[in-house]
Structure 1
Amino acid sequence: MGDLAAAAAVALGSPGGRSAGHVAILGYGATDPGLAEAFSGTFREGVAWLGARSWFRPHLPPTLEADGLSALGLALGVNRLLHRRDAAWLGALVVRGATAAGLSDLNRSLMVAAAHILEAPARRDLATMLPEARVALADLGIVPADAECRRPAWRNVLRFEPAMGDPARAALTLRAFEALCETNMPARLGRLEPGDVLRVLQGVERSLRLWTWEERPRTPRSALVRWDIENEYHVQNLLWTTLAPLFPDLNAEEYTPPVGHKNPRMDLTVPSLGLVIEVKFVRAGVSFAKIVEEIAADAALYRVDPKWRVLIPFVWDDSFRTEEHPKLIEGLRKLEMVHDAVVIPRPGKMERDAGDRIRPGRTGTRRASKAGAPGIDDIAQCPDSEASESTPRRVNRNVGVLKSRT
């Protein structure tokens, strides 16, 4: 990119040989901090030169007005090096160009993306872009991602043929294909990796947006329902529901060979990947350092069996200490056997009534009785201190409870 930007800067110094494409190359180069500093002055001069020109002139063939690739490069450079008001003409050009008749789908998509980068008034919605272009540019961090466009993007990518477009479209299609393969497990052609499990677990927090927690009954004949998460068993049930349809060999509470007097039991496992998911439920008053110690001890026991190679801790933070999550994840990543870690807070909407608050100071990790604790579906009869309370809780008869079923 450096050589290309240098050649474009030389061309811009020649009045008879310069073009909008040369300025656009410098705009793309501006996404590299080193190149941005080296060519910022030349780019500013190029934008001023283009801004002084007349566009959409009758009876003349369009140039930049129909060149989405150059428009996108200019928008990136303006966003990086200039104030948008210094290139208001460009915002107006891409908004008008995106509505021009006869414009190719790719150029229209890139015009729309450029308009959004510039926050141009009256810009078209990103939904009007080619889905594969939207996926590719989202993967590059240029436009926001949209999960709804992934399916049509995948369809278009599979049907793409080199003869269908120019090199720019081929490059965008390839980028979209790579992005989709990273996040779409069916695209992996049956080859699953621990990273696939990690991505599903990282999506659990987003999935809780529609988790049932009602402020009022949804229908006249319904009771008020709130699916509370009160302990580690509940978190395991949630993860089982999420992972079981995707990983057929998912197991719950599998034992490893005894280690001396220890008979370690793993929360969730995917044997085909040699992967263990260790669930932790952190209550208020429990330090995250204690969680790191417990997972380190778990990993040491699991590692004795060579069958298990990868560990992913999943921590439910019931105390909502989100400011400490990055440090916790950083610490867990340093542990041997840990591929990565996922920490999610209790959703803000799941606020308990004062009388329903569970007691602080307990991790919910079942360390004392883990070797002989019941299965994830036996929480109602579990003798574990997490499942039984010496003091009865206040019960609201109008509140439904999510019960685990086999």
Structure 2
Amino acid sequence: MVSLKSNPAGLLLQDVFAALSAKIRQISADTIEYAFSAWLYPASRSQQMPVLPLNPAVNNYSHVAQIAFLLEIDSEHNSDLLPTLIDGLQRTASRSPMIVGVGPAAFYNDAIALFGLALGARHTGGQTKKDIAKWMRSFVPNSVGTLPPWKQSLMAAALFVLEDDTVIAVDHVHALEMELALYSRGIDCFSPTSSDRIYQAVCNGAIREGGDIALTAARLQSINYLTNHLPTISINMPTIPQIVQVLSNLTPAFRRWVWEDSAKTKTSVPQKWDVQNEYHVQSLLYFILAPLFPDLEDEFYLETTGQLNPRADIGLPSVNLIIEVKYLRQGKSFQKILEEIASDAALYFKKESVYKDKYNQMLVFLWDDSNRTHEHGKFKIGACSLNNISDVVVMARPGVINRNPANLKATKKGMI
């Protein structure tokens, strides 16, 4: 299970990501390496869009490949480049891969450029695509042997894009990052592999070698895929950071929250699943966590303190964690919520508590029904400074819960 964990060298995945991002920002935007990187790792475009070099030439295969990448990135705004691309591809397809008395031509094993030309041929289609496929088939199987594994994968991907079934030798074991990055961009020609192996490859590669910019982009895109397209929690051994990550990602899940103005079927009535109080939020968290934690306790009492009999909201003994739910309404201050949390923590985690081995940390989950998002940061800092508070998750009321005055009146009646 991939998570933001430490690798053998002690780095965290986010540390590797930051270091690689800094490296890719240093490359010039008018190079083919940057054009390829901007296609493979789209997030890099927020820094700078790739551009063509001054006076690009249709008889320069590298410039033609750059044009292809630009059209793949944004075909609408670069549509005026299409005639130049077609002309350049046709010229390139007529070139010999071997130069008499010299040896292989410059493009013979230029994996990045050849992959770009393949994308361009796919974009144009028709006879141009067939010509480029025939041209590459004539030399690519013989040109990959001395290349690094990630470039071998690019060459294989180029033939795949052209729908050519020619088989070439690729060291897949050492090309995991590039192959996952290509897969994430729709080039599905490689067998799936272990995400943990890719994670280790990304981290270890970034530690041991500088690497080509194209490989840097592949590592960034691999990290992006691993952190955004795979489960965020281990079913076998969940951790508190994973629980925090799951609860922090609840807002997108509310896209399918039921909030109907009219019935969806003839046999039903409109439903609005309003979250009106702390008990509703507890039920939501119970629904999410109970399948993952068979030992979950809810609404359970801890030892008494004088006349006080403290009751916790949710307990997860397997990770020694109490989850305390708070509900912030209009008119109630964050200061008041902090006071409640401090009081709860003091009661739950007494020095000589009989529960000290069962529960020793508390996660605060605050549902902000007032949507005072500008105060969330300060609140989190304050709550995390309290004893035994491991983390804080604040969730503003999702936009889907768009109450009208009647709903608001009902909400006030349900105050706790």
Q: Please state which band the TM-score falls in when normalised by the shorter chain.
A: 0.5 to 0.7
Mapping 1:6-405, distance limit 5 Å: 31-32=21-22, 44=28, 71-72=36-37, 84-85=50-51, 87=53, 89=63, 91-94=66-69, 95=72, 96-97=116-117, 99=119, 101=133, 106-107=153-154, 156-157=193-194, 172=219, 179=227, 183-186=231-234, 190-304=236-350, 305=353, 306=356, 307-358=358-409, 386=415
Question: Does 224-233 or 214-223 show the bigger shift?
Answer: 214-223
- Kindly tell me: are residues 154 and 298 of structure 1, through their superposed partners in 2, closer, same or farther at Cα, counting changes over 3 Å? farther
* Contact 2:373/2:396 (<8 A) preserved: yes
Q: Deviations over 1:295-341 (max 9, x none)?
A: 11111111113132111111111112222222222222222211211
Q: Distance in 1 between matches of 2:191 and 2:368?
A: 36
Q: Distance in 1 between matches of 2:326 and 2:415?
A: 12
* Contact 1:267/1:276 (<8 A) preserved: yes
* Contact 2:310/2:347 (<8 A) preserved: yes
Q: Deviations over 1:113-154 (max 9, x none)?
A: xxxxxxxxxxxxxxxxx997697799xxxx99x9xx9xx999
- Kindly tell me: are residues 224 and 295 of structure 1, through their superposed partners in 2, closer, same or farther at Cα, counting changes over 3 Å? same
* Contact 2:325/2:366 (<8 A) preserved: yes
Residue type of the alignment partner of 1:348: G
- Kindly tell me: are residues 339 and 182 of structure 1, through their superposed partners in 2, closer, same or farther at Cα, counting changes over 3 Å? farther
Q: Distance in 2 between matches of 1:109 and 1:69?
A: 21
Q: Following TM superposition, by how much is the alpha carbon of 1:268 offset from its aligned partner in structure 2, in angstroms?
A: 0.4
SS state of the match for residue 347, structure 1? coil
* Contact 2:177/2:222 (<8 A) preserved: no
SS state of the match for residue 399, structure 2? coil
* Contact 2:257/2:400 (<8 A) preserved: no
Q: Distance in 2 between matches of 1:339 and 1:136?
A: 35
* Contact 1:313/1:340 (<8 A) preserved: yes
Q: Distance in 1 between matches of 2:44 and 2:291?
A: 46
Q: Distance in 2 between matches of 1:324 and 1:199?
A: 20
- Kindly tell me: are residues 158 and 31 of structure 1, through their superposed partners in 2, closer, same or farther at Cα, counting changes over 3 Å? closer
* Contact 1:183/1:199 (<8 A) preserved: no
What RMSD over aligned residues (CA atoms) do the two structures have, in Å? 4.9
SS state of the match for residue 286, structure 1? coil
SS state of the match for residue 32, structure 1? helix
Residue type of the alignment partner of 1:233: Y
Q: Distance in 2 between matches of 1:229 and 1:356?
A: 11
Aligned length, in residue pairs: 279
Residue type of the alignment partner of 2:252: R
- Kindly tell me: are residues 340 and 288 of structure 1, through their superposed partners in 2, closer, same or farther at Cα, counting changes over 3 Å? same
Q: Distance in 1 between matches of 2:190 and 2:321?
A: 31
| TM-score, normalised by the number of residues in structure 1 | 0.55
- Kindly tell me: are residues 328 and 156 of structure 1, through their superposed partners in 2, closer, same or farther at Cα, counting changes over 3 Å? same
* Contact 2:366/2:394 (<8 A) preserved: yes
SS state of the match for residue 340, structure 1? strand
* Contact 1:200/1:243 (<8 A) preserved: no
**Structure 1, unaligned stretches of length 5 or more?**
1-27, 51-63, 112-129, 162-166, 363-383, 388-406
Residue type of the alignment partner of 2:194: V
* Contact 1:313/1:338 (<8 A) preserved: yes
Q: Deviations over 1:64-83 (max 9, x none)?
A: 7xxx8993289889958866
* Contact 1:135/1:179 (<8 A) preserved: no
SS state of the match for residue 194, structure 2? helix
- Kindly tell me: are residues 32 and 280 of structure 1, through their superposed partners in 2, closer, same or farther at Cα, counting changes over 3 Å? same
